[in-house]
Each structure stands twice: as structure tokens, then as C-alpha cells.
Amino acid sequence: MMDFDSRREALLAAAASVFAARGYHRTSMRDLARASGMSLAGMYYYVAGKEDLLYQLQRSAFERVRRGAEEAVAAAGRGGVGGGEGGPEERLRAFILHHVTFFATHRDEMKVLSHEAESLTGARLEEVRELKKAYVGLCDALVAELDAAAEAPAGGGGTRLNRHVAVYTLFGMMNWIYTWYDPAGPVGIAELAETICRLFLNGYAAEVHVR
């Protein structure tokens, strides 16, 4: 009916749904058995254990956002949707739009990624932390390019914002979404992404471009 990999991914998907709804630690293996339609013991044929399940889930989700973001940024650099060349600002916009869209279209996995960041232990925790660091670094590099392109126009004015702090704050805007956003509500994904883009770009660049 289904091969090994499909069955395994179905299990991961069911786990993502339950983890997102009830939280990792509150969820028992028996809950997952019920949600996936497998027996309690049967799951252990596909996964090494509960923590391994969370690890596979986070790893897979992280690699997909990362790949998607890289492609979206590259596409924006090549000219993106509408013609043009695609400067640093367009590339950052593409990153934000992709992140927010991915968040909204993969709610469960992204909530697990955001909320259960410290639920892993030992080597698995360290490995996922590295993935996250690489992903944040990708965004940080885009903001750095934005900085370089603006190159202190007059020298005067107020002090520049700390880039790393600004980037973490940007991720705060984006990753907090799972806390309040209702995809069935009146606010669309595009509007949400546009709000975050404006808040960050106007706010961050204001100290660089204007005044």
C-alpha cells in the first residue's frame, strides 16, 4: 500500500500535528499511536524513539525552509517576479516573504520548530542549533548587504542600529506568528508579510537612508 519512506513521513506528519497541538512533553507515544493509526510498538519500526521523532521532524523542517529561502533569495536577485535586477532590499524582502509564507503554510512543523527549540538534548540539540545558526546567518548576511549598499550617506545623524540585534528582532516578529495568527481570519499571508517587511525595512533603513 505504501512504502517504508511514505509510511515514515506519514508518522512524522501525524507527530507534527499532535506536537503542535499539545506540545512535545505532554504528548505520549500512545497519543502518537492513536493519531497515526499505528500500534504503540509499531512506531518503533520507523523511529528510534520519541526524541528521535522530534529530531527528524525539526531537521527535515529546517532543511526545507533553508532550501526554500535560498531559492527565493536567489530568484529575487535574478529579478524575481517583476523584472528589474533585485538589489539587497528586494532580496531581504524575498527572504521575509518566504519565511512568513512557509510559516503559514506549514503551521504545525514551524510551531514545533519555534516552540520546542529546547526540547531536544545532547548531540541532537547541538546539531539542530547549528542548523538554526546557519539559517539566521543567511538572513544576517542579507541585512549586512543592505548596510553595505547604504554606506553612511553623510556621516552625521544618529547612531546606527546593531545589526545582530535588529536581525534577532526581525526573527521575533516572524517567529511569534504561531502564537496569534489565524489563517482563517481576515488577515492574509501577503498582508502579514508586507507588514513585517515595512516595519523592518522602514525602521532599520531609516537610520541609514534618512536624516
Instruction: Decide which of DNA, a copy of itself, none touches 173; Cβ closer than 5 to 8 Å per partner kind.
Output: a copy of itself
Residues in Cβ contact with 109 at an 8 Å cutoff, skipping those fewer than 6 apart: 16, 20, 57, 60, 61
The one segment of 46-54, 111-119, 165-173, 195-203 that binds DNA by CB under 7 A: 46-54
Q: Does 51 bind DNA (CB under 7 A)?
A: yes
CA–CA dist 35, 178 (Å, integer): 22
Residues 6+ apart with CB under 8 A from 193: 96, 97, 100, 101
> Interface with DNA includes 180 (CB under 7 A)?
no
Residue 78 binds a copy of itself, judged by CB under 8 A? no
Q: Minimum distance from CB of 23 to DNA (Å)?
A: 11
Q: Where are the beta strands (DSSP E) in 99-172?
A: none
Scan for cell 532550501, then name that residue: 67
Q: Which of 12, 15, 20, 30 binds DNA (CB under 7 A)?
A: 30
- Distance separating alpha carbons of residues 47 and 50, to the nearest angstrom: 8
User: Applying CB under 7 A, does 45 fall inside the site for DNA?
Assistant: yes
Site for a copy of itself, residues 130 to 189, rule: CB under 8 A: 161-162, 165-166, 168-169, 171-177, 179-181, 187
Closer to a copy of itself by Cβ: residue 28 or 105: 28
